[in-house]
Amino acid sequence: MQFLSLPKLAEKSGWSVTRVRRLVANRELPHIRVNGRLMLPANAIDEFVAKNFVPSFGEAEGEALERCQRGINAEAKGDAA
């Protein structure tokens, strides 16, 4: 795993150092201190975005419909048993 300093990760992501520091303070980004220096995984921002990504309405509607259909199918199988 590759680690970057907070300023380097901020530069790589295009986010401000203040924003990244706030996410660290709120424990929303994984980090470690090495000799007093804050280090973060190079993919920390990508993982944060993926975890907090909100799908568009169309995507969410399709996923909800799929979950509903799976539930109906599961109920039908349970009734048949």
Helices (H), 1-81: 6-13, 17-25, 44-52, 57-80
First to last CA, the chain: 49
Comparing 9 with 74, which gets the higher pLDDT? 9
The predicted-structure confidence for 18-71, as pLDDT tens digits, reads as follows: 999 999 999 999 999 999 999 999 999 999 998 988 776 666 566 666 776 676
Question: Max alpha carbon distance in the chain (Å)?
Answer: 63
Domain ranges of the chain: 3-80
Triad 47, 48, 49: Cα angle to 5°: 90
**pLDDT at site 48:** 93
Are residues 5 and 38 in contact, defined by beta-carbon separation less than 8 angstroms? yes
Report the pLDDT value the prediction gives residue 75, as an integer from 0 to 100.
Answer: 57
pLDDT score for 1: 87
Q: What is the pLDDT of residue 22?
A: 97
Tokens of 15: 């986010």
Is the pLDDT reported for residue 81 higher than 60? no
**Which residues sit opposite 72 in a β-bridge?**
none
